Amino acid sequence: MTEPILEARGIVKQFGRVRALRGANFTVYPGEIVALVGDNGAGKSTLVKVLAGVHQLDAGEIVFEGRSVTIENPIAARGLGIEVVYQDLALAPELDPAGNLFLGREIPLPGLLGRLGFINKTEMRRRSDEIFHDLSVKIPDTTAPVAFMSGGQRQGVAVSRAVAWASKVLFMDEPTAALGVVQTRNVLELIKRVRERGIAVVFVSHNMPQVLQVADRVEVMRLGRRVARFVRGAVTMEEVVAAMTGALKHEEEAVK
């Protein structure tokens, strides 16, 4: 089997007296969609934030491309090619799509004006349009602030931004929450297109039909630990839910 692109081994994370992660394990391989599922409080978001450099682990190990790494902050994660689309999207509503795609990575104008801090909005919009086209993301007016866009369009901007900079791993936290049927279908298709680019996608979701529709594998967390691993096509929704609720007690019992 191909070597994992990213692994969490025995991750422990505590906030005061609350032990959010209790020896959590996680594995994702290059060019696959792996769903990370679990009930509220299972530790999914905490694990994602540890792997994205937002939180520092208290114990355990992160392995990236076969070597142990320390991800001190989100900038370090981005340096490894890891990007995250959070549920709140973290967009700047007053900026247009290009401004959001290049937020913090603005392209300066050439020459003196660039050295004085002026940015090349024309080039940023040109590159943004190319990214939207490559991902089949439809933005009717790329000059309008994202505040005036639909939920699906904003989601498209957020995902496009992450894909533009993610070269290895993309985490997507509840990417279809609060979206309509058509918008949800578009986002799920976008996830598949990201995988086709060779990027590993970690799909965090409570929606079991969507999970079984797009994920190559499913990893289940409960009470701060991974309790089950499944391969799509060899698992039912009932089995995944059973793992989430504790009916399957040991990780080894659920591996398929």
Regarding whether 74 and 196 lie in a shared domain, the answer is: yes
Asked if residue 242 belongs to a domain, the reply is yes
Regarding whether 250 and 128 lie in a shared domain, the answer is: no
Query: What is 79-129 written as a DSSP string?
Result: HTTEEEE-TTTT--TTS-HHHHHTTTSPPBPSTHHHHTT-B-HHHHHHHHH
Res 255: pLDDT: 47
Regarding whether 136 and 80 lie in a shared domain, the answer is: no
Regarding whether 123 and 237 lie in a shared domain, the answer is: no
Q: Give the C-alpha separation, 110 to 87, whole Å.
A: 36
Q: Give the C-alpha separation, 144 to 157, whole Å.
A: 12
Is the predicted pLDDT of residue 254 greater than 60, yes or no?
Answer: no
Strand order across the beta sheet in which 200-204 lies: 82-85, 169-173, 200-204, 33-37, 217-222, 225-231
pLDDT band at 152 (very low <50, low <70, confident <90, very high): confident
| 208 φ, ψ (degrees, to nearest 5) | -65, -40
Instruction: Please state the rounded mean pLDDT for residues 10-34.
Output: 95
pLDDT band at 246 (very low <50, low <70, confident <90, very high): confident
Asked if residue 1 belongs to a domain, the reply is no
Q: Give the C-alpha separation, 13 to 2, whole Å.
A: 29
Asked if residue 69 belongs to a domain, the reply is yes
pLDDT digits 0-9 by tens, 195-227: 988 999 999 988 899 999 999 999 999 999 999
Regarding whether 174 and 249 lie in a shared domain, the answer is: yes
Res 216: pLDDT: 95
Asked if residue 160 belongs to a domain, the reply is no
pLDDT band at 251 (very low <50, low <70, confident <90, very high): low
Regarding whether 40 and 129 lie in a shared domain, the answer is: no
Instruction: Please state the rounded mean pLDDT for residues 73-84.
Output: 93
Instruction: Please state the rounded mean pLDDT for residues 139-147.
Output: 89
Is the predicted pLDDT of residue 239 greater than 50, yes or no?
Answer: yes
Asked if residue 21 belongs to a domain, the reply is yes
Res 46: pLDDT: 95
3-state secondary structure of 8: strand
Asked if residue 149 belongs to a domain, the reply is no
| SS3 annotation, 180-211 | CHHHHHHHHHHHHHHHHCCCEEEEECCCHHHH
Helices (H), 136-249: 151-165, 181-196, 208-214, 237-245
Regarding whether 107 and 70 lie in a shared domain, the answer is: no
Asked if residue 152 belongs to a domain, the reply is no
CA 166 remoteness from chain centre: 10
* Residues forming beta bridges with residue 67, ordered by sequence position: 64
77 to each of 126, 161, 211, how far by Cα in Å? Answer: 27, 15, 25
Which residue type, as a one-letter code, is found at position 170? Answer: L
Q: Are 98 and 131 in contact (CB under 8 A)?
A: no
Please tell me which residue, 254 or 66, carries the higher pLDDT value: 66
Asked if residue 27 belongs to a domain, the reply is yes
In this structure, the chain runs to a length of 256
End-to-end alpha carbon distance in the chain: 15
Q: Which domain holds residue 135?
A: 95-144
Please count the structural domains in the chain: 2
3-state secondary structure of 46: helix
Res 104: pLDDT: 87
pLDDT digits 0-9 by tens, 51-72: 999 999 999 999 999 999 999 9
| Burial 31-65, CB ≥16 within 10 A → b, else e | bbbbbbbbeeebbbbbbbbbbbbbbebeebebbbe
pTM: 0.84
Res 202: pLDDT: 96
